[in-house]
Structure formats: C-alpha cells, structure tokens
A and B are shown apart, each in its own frame.
Chain A
Amino acid sequence: MDSIVQFENVGLRYGTGPEALSDLSFTLFSGQFYFLTGPSGAGKSSLLRLLYLAQRPSRGMIRLFDSDLVTLSRDRMPGFRRRIGVVFQDFRLVPHLSAFDNIALPLRIAGMRDADLATPVREILDWVGLSARGDALPATLSGGEQQRVAIARAVITRPDILVADEPTGNVDPEMAVKLLRLFEALNRMGTTIIVATHDIHLMTRIKRAQMMRLEGGRLFDPTGALRYPPKPSDLRGWEEDKG
C-alpha cells in the first residue's frame, strides 16, 4: 500500500496559546477509509485543517502526495488542494450561488467549460436527492439539504483524498446511510476517505474502516497504531463524547 499522508512529530499552536495538536505521528494509506473521533476540543478540526491545507504545522513534518508540505511553495498549493475534497462542518456554501453553481465551483476552478459540467453536476445532484433544488440558493435550503450540497461539492471532482467534518450531522439516518454509501463508492474508486464523526453507528457501518481517536490534541494510542475495525469495546463510553 502506498502512503498518501505522513505526519511526523507534528504540533500545531494558534498564536501564543497552548498546542492544539501535539506529537502527532501516523501514516494514512492510499485508498483506505478512516474515521477520526474524539471528544469536543480534542483537536479533530485542527487535524482536518492541516489535512486540507488550511494551516501549516507549527512543528514537525507532513508529507502529502509524496511532497513535504512544510517546504511546499505557495504556487503548488492550489494544485494540491484540487486533489482534496472537503466537507466543512458549517458547509461553507457560497450564499449567492445556487446549489448547482456551488457544486460546479470546483470544476470551474479546475477550468472545466460550462458545456461539460452540466452532466456531472446533474448526476451528483440526483445522487444526493436534490435534482429538483438545483436552482435554489443555500438560504432557502434546509440544514440537511445544505449538507448534501456541501458533500456533492466535495466529491464532484473525485478527489484523491476526501476530508469530511461531521458530514452526516444534519441529515436523517436514512440519508446518512445513503451518503456513507457514496463515500464508500468513492473509496472503492481509490479515494482515501477521512471522516471526523461522533456517530458510532456510522463508524460500525464501514467494516474495513480504520479509526483514529484524538484526546487533548494527541492520538489516543501514543504509538500511533490505528485500530481497525473498531471493536464494541473500543466504542464503549464514546457516546458521552458527542456534542
């Protein structure tokens, strides 16, 4: 298996505050499915920000797509970001663009012509059950619909890595399972999936998924070894992490 992400003694500090992440060392492999969990404030979102290149680490080394991120030039960052799909916890849809245009945004950024992007966007809208809402602005969509638009936008380019922060937090259980199936399908096509979630049931649904647990900015297992698949004993007591 090829490694796609490598962390070595990575630390992240915001300003002069304490370290939000400390001594993270692990490797993620291409084509795998990972769940990232841990209590609120454990550093999950900070770790995801490092993964989707919104932040550089304060110390340590990160390798992504076989390149050292710490020394990577700014000019090459956009190319790397286009290979990473992101589902933000707060969706981050462009408020004055329709659902269709929000989903088409990564394709347009990548330079696809309008004539070529209608079909894939319609397909993915249909997949997330929003084919009738393509022209709707985000403000007129429910929380669940906005989340599905955000997911559709993240997967439309079939990225090498998909990073999702609580991607099923606002959808009903049926839609959550459906979205998970979409992630699985992407994963089968080779996309590495990293999902931060509190949802134990979601984690148990993907049998071959591996799990990372953060506590206090550190990996739960200090050796960095990943548990897979999660055993019921691992999950016991995690319900109280929620929220």
Chain B
Amino acid sequence: MLGAFFPTRHDRRLIPQARLTGPMPWVIAVMLFLTLLAAAAALALGSAADQINADLAGRATVQIVNADSDARQRQASAAEAVLRSDRAVAVVTRVSDAEVRSLLSPWLGSSALSDDIPLPSLIDVDFRRNASDATLGRLRDALAEAAPDARIDAHGQWLRPVFELIGTLRWLAIALVVLLALASIASVMLSARSSFAAHAETIDIMHLLGSTHQQIARLFQRRIALDAALGALIACLLAAPVLWLLGRAATRLDSGLVSAGSFGPFDWLLLATVPIAGIALAVVTARMTVLGALRKKL
C-alpha cells in the first residue's frame, strides 16, 4: 500500500527537490501551525462547554422571598419536602440563614444585615442528571402549590448566553480548521501544478517511454509528502510551546470557566493527528492534481 505512494531512490532523482529552500514546506508549516491553534481552540472550547455544563446544568437554587419570617420558614419546609419527593432530584440542601448572611455581607456589609432585614430562604438542589425544561416546569408547578413565594432558578439558564457564545466560538474555530484545510489543498494544488510545469520535459520523456500515470504521479506525491512532513515538523515545534504557554496562562487565571478549557490525553491525541492528516491531505491532493493534468495527455 505504502509502496504505491513512495517511489524508489532512482525515482527521487528524476524530479529533483528543493527541500527547505523552496516555499512549500514553509507554506505548509504556517497552514498547519494555524490549523493546530484553531483545532486546539475548538477542543478547549468544547471541553470548557462540557465542563461548565456538567458543573452547572445539574444544579438549581430555590429562593423563597417573603417578608414574614414564619411564612417564609413554613414555605421553605414545604418546598424542601416537595423537592425531596421528586425522582429527578438527588440532593436537597437548605442554606442556613448564617450562610446567606455571609454570602451577602461582601456587598451589603455585615452591619446592614441585622435580624430586622428579611433575607430570602435558599435551597440548593442537585439533580441526578442535567435538568431538562420539562423537569424544571414540573417542579415549578409543584412548588407553586406548596410554596407560592418560591422561585426556582436553574444555574444552567443563567449561563445560557455564555454557552451560546462558547458554542459560536467553537463552530468558528471548526470553520477555521476547514478553511485552513481548503487553503492548504489550494496551495498544494498550485505547487503540484507548478512543479508539473517545471518538469514537463522529463514527464513527457517518461510518458513516451511508457511510464504509467501512476508512476509519474508517485514522483510528485513523494515530493509533496517530504515538503509536508518538513512543514508539519516545523508547525509542531512552533505550536507545542504556544499551546503549553496558553494552557499554563489559563490555569493561572484560576477561573472556573477558563481552567475548564484545558486538554485531556484524548485532546492531545486528536491534536497529534492534525499534522498527520495534513501530510495525508497534501499527498492525496498532489496525486489527484497530477493525475488530472496527465489525463490531458494521450
């Protein structure tokens, strides 16, 4: 199989190669470097979206707002009972008044939070899996009867615009990968055509001596494969420290959203396939281009 793609030592001499003095390895290096960054961005955004979704979409807070302390406590107990009885709910945790005060004190100041100021009762809810709109609707209906002043806020809903932005950026990164792949194909086609024209005399001689189209195409495949391999090596050497530094900077931000976008082993494996896919794409493109040009010959 590989023999069909890579020719003998003599075949290599037929089409001399410029190696790093030619533009092609550098063009491929730049394309693959950008592709690696775009692919890394797509993977990081995907991972961030999954992580945030896992952290927040399975949680909700029930808030009971009533100035009357007794009524508020009564409704909170009723709401707690309703929540505990629902099959979609895994854990129900009543937030104590002290905890509520400590949450609000950075904004209102501890002196302002006297016992006279009514604070809402809060209940944290962990769902067995991500809460669907149907589940939330069912709980709202049940709470409306048991605790009319209760309001349920799904954490995932607060962050819906953030999710949408992350999703858009992720698709943008994927679109960039596709565009860069198309630009790489166009570059390889131009290079193969130019090389084909530069060696037209040699090709013509081989053709008249009985070379098959596959034999001639193989010469160009190898030429492009070596250029692409050199370009991929340069791209990897440039991209690896850049990605490592970006990952390190993201971790240092110590933000739940940003640090969620780090790479796992599978992500690194996927990134490693980018240069390999780039080389394969270049070889196949060169082969198709040269075979297309040879079809015009008798």
Contact = CB atoms under 8 A, between A and B. Distances in A.
Nearest to A113: B8
Interface residues on B, range: 20 to 34
B95 to A, nearest CB: 79
Contact of B298 (A54, A106, A110, A153): A54
Given A97-B14, A101-B13, A109 B298 contact: no
A105 B206 contact: yes
Contacts, number: 57
Interface in A57-114: 74, 77-82, 86, 92-97, 101, 104-106, 108-110, 114
Given A74-B298, A92-B201, A109-B215, A114 B206 contact: no
Interface residues of A, number: 28
Interface string B1-24: 000000010110110100000000
A109 B13 contact: no
A106 B208 contact: no
B99 to A, nearest CB: 81
Name B's interface SS: helix
Contacts of B16: 96
B10 A110 contact: no
B212 interface: yes
Contacts of A81: 207-210
Interface in B206-221: 206-212, 215
B178 to A, nearest CB: 35
B202 interface: yes
Contacts of A53: 208, 298
A3 interface: no
B134 interface: no
Interface of A: 52-56, 74, 77-82, 86, 92-97, 101, 104-106, 108-110, 114, 153
Q: Sorted from nearest, which 4 A-B pairs have the closest CB atoms?
A: A82-B210, A81-B210, A78-B212, A78-B210
